[in-house]
């Protein structure tokens, strides 16, 4: 299920960075990987030009391999990193789509 979700995010233009528990034990390495992903996203946005392009990231969920994703262009219908079409069964609040109101 996790691989399927990551493949769907990648097919939509997201860059997925996997964060493991070992990465959390080495915050400097984890933040370096996040900075590289965000820098790549910024370069993609700059190459595509203006027009509502945004770079976003999400810390994912509490799972041991929570994905972190960036996307070079986002629209109001774009999925949120870690979100699926089904309600989340994990602890915590389910990710919301941009513009969606919380129930």
Give the domain range for residue 35: 2-71
Per-residue pLDDT of the chain (103 residues; tens, 9 = 90+): 888 999 998 898 887 878 888 888 999 988 888 888 888 777 766 666 555 545 555 555 545 455 555 555 444 444 444 444 444 444 444 455 555 555 4
- Residue 18 in any domain: the answer is yes
- Residue 16 in any domain: the answer is yes
- Residue 88 in any domain: the answer is no
- Residue 99 in any domain: the answer is no
Question: DSSP states of 71-89 as a string?
Answer: ES---TTPPPTT--SSPP-
| pLDDT given for residue 56 in this prediction | 57
Considering its fold, how many domains does the chain have in total? Answer: 1
Contacts of 40 (CB under 8 A, 6+ apart): 15, 70
| pLDDT given for residue 50 in this prediction | 53
- Residue 102 in any domain: the answer is no
- Residue 83 in any domain: the answer is no
- Residue 22 in any domain: the answer is yes
Contacts of 83 (CB under 8 A, 6+ apart): 94, 95, 96, 97
Strand partners, 19: 66
């Amino acid at each position: 299920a996790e691989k399927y979700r990551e493949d769907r995010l990648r097919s939509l233009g997201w860059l997925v960075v996997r964060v493991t528990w070992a990465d959390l034990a080495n915050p400097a390495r984890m933040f370096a990987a996040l900075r590289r992903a965000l820098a790549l996203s910024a370069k993609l946005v700059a190459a595509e030009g203006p027009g509502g392009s945004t770079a976003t990231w999400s810390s994912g969920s509490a799972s041991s391999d929570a994905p972190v994703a960036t996307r070079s262009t986002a629209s109001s219908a774009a999925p949120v990193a870690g979100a699926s079409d089904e309600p989340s069964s994990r602890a915590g609040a389910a990710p919301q789509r941009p513009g969606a109101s919380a129930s």
